[in-house]
Amino acid sequence: MTGTTGRSAAGGLDTLDTPCLILDEAKLLANLQGMRSHLDQLGVAFRPHLKTAKSIDVARRAMTSPRGPATVSTLKEAEYFAERGVHDLTYAVGIAPHKLDRVGAIRGRWGADLAVILDSVAQAEAVAAWSGANGDPLPVFIEIDADGHRSGVKPDDADLIRAIGGRLAPASLRGVLLHAGDSYGLSDPDSLAAAAEAERAAACRAADILRAAGLACPVVSVGSTPTARHARDLSGVTEVRAGVFMFGDLVQAGIGSCAVGDIAVSVLTTVIGHRPDRGWIVTDAGWMAMSRDRGTARQAVDQGYGLVCDLDGVPIPGLIVAEANQEHGVVALRAASGARLPDLPVGTKLRILPNHACATAAQYDRYHVLGKDGRFGEIWPRINGW
C-alpha cells in the first residue's frame, strides 16, 4: 500500500503500527543545509544523490530547483522523478545496452535531460549506435576509478580514456564522473581529506586527458558522502554528488561524516517479549525491518543491527540490537557496557538508528515524518525497485 504525499496522520509516534520508518524533518534539513554551505564555500554545484531518498518530498528539499539537478541509481527512480518534473538527471550506474531504449523513453516522454555513464569502448559504441539510430545524442559521462573500489577507467589510462571519448559520436560527451568508495573504510579526518584530494586529482587528470585530445569535458563530477564532507579544495571540480549524508546512519557516524545526533532516520519498533535468562528484550523489528547490513562490524564501535533509542530518539545507554531474525529483533546490552538492562514492558515503543540508511529505508514504501516543529504529521511516499 502506498501513501499519499502530504497526507495528515492523527496522533503521535506512539499511535503508529510497527515496524515503520521515521524521518526527522528538522535533522534532514539541517544536514542538507550543512552540506550546501560547505560546497558553497568550495565553489562547486550540488547534485544530490536520491538513491537513499527515493521520495519526491525529500528530493524537493534537497535539490536547488524543482527541475534538479539530481542523481539516481535506478531507471525506476529516473522515471519516478522525471514524471514529477525533475528533468536534470544523471543515472550514475554503468549503462547496459538493453536499457538504452528505456533511457530514451524517459528522455522523450518527459523531456528529461537524463545522462548515462560508462567505462568501456563496448558501452561507448553501443551508446553511439543507439544515438545515431534514434536521432537522440545521449549525454555521457566516462566513469573514472579514483581508488580501485569498483568500476571505472584508471585516471592515468590515457589511451582508454581517449578511445572511449573518441567512439561516442553522435552521443554527447558531458564529462567525467567519480565515486571514491574506499573512503567508507576510513575514519581519520586527515585520511578522509586525503581521499577527497585523491578523488579530485584523479578527476582532473582524466578531464585534462580528454581536453588535450580535443574532446569536450564541461562537467567534472565527484561524490561520496565522506569525501564531500571532508574535502578542503575542489579546484577543477564542477559538481558534487552525495546522498546518504542527508539522512546519516551509524556507518557514517563511525566514519566521522556525521554525529549520532544528526541521524534523521530511525525504525519505530515495539517490545513483544523478554528472555530474562539471556538478557534479551525482543522486538517486532528483525532484519526485514532493519536490513542485514552489518557495516559497523568492521568499525571501532560495533553497533550490532542498530542503536536502541527511546521514543524521543535518545540512545538508551549500552543498548543495541544484538541479533536479528526475520521478524524478531533481539535487544541486549553491548558487551562490557557496564549498563543495566532497562525495564521495558511489552508494548513499549522504541526507535532504532540504522547501520546503513539506504538498506534500511529500502524495506519501506513511506516515511512517517516528524515535522520541523517536532510533531508527527505527514506521510511521504517512497519507491523501490529497478
176 lies in a domain?
A: yes
5 lies in a domain?
A: no
Measured distance CA(204)–CA(51) in Å, rounded: 26
Residues 177, 320 share a domain: no
Residues 220, 113 share a domain: yes
Residues 235, 101 share a domain: yes
What is the structure's pLDDT at 12? 82
C-alpha cell at 338: 557496564
Report the chain (386 residues): mean pLDDT per 10 consecutive residues: 36 87 97 98 98 98 98 98 98 98 98 98 98 98 91 96 98 97 91 96 98 98 96 98 97 97 98 96 98 95 97 96 98 90 96 98 97 86 98
Structural domain for 172, as ranges: 27-246
Counting the structural domains of the chain, the total is 2
What is the structure's pLDDT at 339? 87
The number of beta carbons lying within 10 Å of the beta carbon of residue 225 is 26
What is the structure's pLDDT at 375? 81
What is the structure's pLDDT at 335? 87
The model carries a pTM of 0.94
Measured distance CA(148)–CA(180) in Å, rounded: 9
What is the structure's pLDDT at 14? 86
What is the structure's pLDDT at 336? 83
Residues 279, 176 share a domain: no
What is the structure's pLDDT at 188? 93
What is the structure's pLDDT at 3? 37
Residues 222, 81 share a domain: yes
Residues 214, 67 share a domain: yes
